[in-house]
């Protein structure tokens, strides 16, 4: 019997060619280049500097510790005076933290406490657990171990040397950094200004939680979840956020929102409306006020992404980024594209995504031509479990999971394979 199946249609030579997918690394390079012009700087109190980015090197004006000091409560001695276990030495002075003792004379000991300066002449501190008090009235101590030179002494400058660069421009300040800086006597730091970000969503289908009860939602309406996680993620990145709410699917309203947002912000971030449908007004609105590149990035989820510039009234440019509307796509593209852009805009040097090799305890048989970010979580056996539904609309996958597998294009995964794991905690710190 003759095969009656329809022959495939010949390609239409007049049809517009679909743009090739842009590799993620190329998109990141372009964004980081655009963010190279840093923001201004400001002086902030060290106590308030957590999460900020250093705008200049920190050079120590002193050495830390400033002097040799004891790391234990005990007795400062000269090793040459203790030749046998059980030798007894008179205790001739008591040195507490914040006090300066006298030079230690031969065949004597000094009672000393943690952090106190080691007296000149002493070359070891024997901790009190290895000593016994004798002749309480006259003040003597029996040394029950043979001390070694340098024992329990923290040397001057062993932490920080004077005139050395302790922290470099572009480092993000952590609580540990705050403590280190305080140990150098600095009560303020020069840091990059916080990015000012205008955030809004587009779409007539969007409804704010609380405005309409679930039972009263009209057909086709959805709650605006993107607004909530994007606002919080921006704040975790150190941004000052202006929430412009929901902009209707209207060209004039979109232009007005963009024009207003550009005036006093460094970045305009939107979700939704970056496609080319009749109700997607972001593209022509941004182009009217500046320039826009629509990128089809070779990642899943999150292929549609837009970057451009919106000109302010004085002619200076404001960065624009448009994220896809699907919640998981918006979430993922923020973490892997917007986050490094914002960090670099603040002058941070290291913006690379941290990845660790972890064993997969699941099967992924559907290789994709795009680089995939699969939502997973660690299990008690040290491997990774896969959320069963990887759809870009299933936001529960980002709550159930504690990270993503960065899976290269064209790769399947079998149980036992080592994969690259990216922890959400590292992307939200």
pLDDT tens track for 277-294: 545 688 889 999 999 988
Measured in degrees and rounded to the nearest 5, phi and psi for residue 251 equal: -60, -50
Report the candidate in 143, 139, 107, 138 with the shortest Cα–Cα distance to residue 125.
143
Tokens standing for residue 48:
């308030």
90 forms beta bridges with: 140
Q: Are 195 and 269 in contact (CB under 8 A)?
A: no
With 0.85 as the threshold, say if the pTM is over it.
no
Q: Are 100 and 118 in contact (CB under 8 A)?
A: no
Q: Give me the domains of the chain, ranges plus CATH numbers.
A: 24-39+194-345 (3.40.980.10), 41-61+164-192 (3.90.105.10), 69-154 (2.170.190.11), 356-423 (2.40.340.10)
Asked whether residue 225 carries a pLDDT value surpassing 90, the answer given is: no
More confident residue, 226 or 77: 77
Tokens standing for residue 404:
């993503």
Q: Are 270 and 285 in contact (CB under 8 A)?
A: no
CA–CA separation, 401 vs 377, rounded Å?
Answer: 5
Q: To the nearest whole percent, how much of the chain has pLDDT over 70?
A: 93
Asked whether residue 385 carries a pLDDT value surpassing 60, the answer given is: yes
CA–CA separation, 86 vs 55, rounded Å?
Answer: 57
Query: 134: helix, coil or strand?
Result: strand
Pairing type for strands 87-95 and 109-112 reads parallel
Asked whether residue 136 carries a pLDDT value surpassing 80, the answer given is: no
């Amino acid at each position: 019997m003759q095969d009656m199946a329809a022959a495939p249609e010949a390609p239409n030579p007049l049809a517009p060619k679909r743009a090739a997918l842009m590799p993620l690394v190329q998109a990141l390079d372009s964004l980081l280049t655009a963010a190279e012009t840093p923001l201004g700087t400001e002086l902030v109190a060290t106590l308030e500097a957590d999460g900020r980015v250093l705008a200049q090197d920190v050079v120590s004006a002193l050495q830390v510790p400033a002097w040799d000091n004891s790391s234990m409560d005990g007795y400062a001695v000269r090793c040459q005076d203790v030749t046998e276990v059980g030798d007894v030495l008179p205790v001739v002075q008591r040195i507490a933290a914040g006090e300066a003792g006298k030079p230690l004379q031969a065949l004597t000991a000094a009672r000393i406490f943690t952090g106190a300066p080691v007296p000149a002449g002493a070359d070891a501190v024997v901790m009190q657990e290895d000593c016994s008090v004798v002749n309480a009235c006259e003040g003597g101590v029996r040394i029950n171990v043979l001390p070694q030179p340098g024992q329990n002494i923290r040397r001057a400058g062993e932490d920080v040397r004077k005139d050395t660069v302790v922290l470099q421009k572009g480092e993000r300040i952590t609580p540990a950094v705050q403590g280190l800086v305080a140990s150098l006597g600095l009560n303020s730091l020069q840091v990059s200004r916080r990015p000012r970000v205008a955030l809004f969503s587009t779409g007539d289908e969007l409804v704010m939680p609380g405005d309409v009860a679930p039972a009263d939602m009209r057909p086709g309406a959805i709650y605006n979840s993107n607004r909530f996680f994007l606002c919080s993620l921006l704040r975790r990145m150190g941004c000052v956020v202006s929430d412009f709410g929901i902009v209707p699917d209207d060209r004039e309203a979109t232009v007005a929102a963009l024009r207003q947002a550009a005036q006093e912000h460094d970045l305009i971030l939107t979700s939704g409306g970056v496609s080319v449908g009749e109700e997607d007004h972001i593209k022509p609105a941004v182009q009217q006020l500046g320039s826009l590149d629509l990128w089809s990035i070779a990642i899943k989820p999150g292929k549609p992404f837009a970057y451009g510039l919106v000109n302010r009234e004085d002619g200076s440019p404001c960065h624009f980024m448009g994220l896809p509307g699907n919640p998981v796509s918006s979430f993922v593209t923020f973490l892997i594209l917007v986050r490094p852009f914002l960090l670099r805009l603040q002058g941070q040097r290291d913006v690379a995504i941290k990845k660790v090799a972890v064993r997969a305890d699941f099967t992924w048989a559907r290789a994709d031509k795009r680089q995939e970010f699969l939502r997973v979580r660690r299990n008690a056996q040290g491997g990774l479990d896969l959320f069963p539904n990887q759809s870009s609309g299933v936001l529960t996958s980002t709550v159930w999971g504690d990270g993503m597998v960065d899976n290269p294009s064209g790769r399947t995964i079998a149980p036992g394979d080592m994969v690259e794991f990216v922890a959400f905690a590292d992307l939200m710190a």
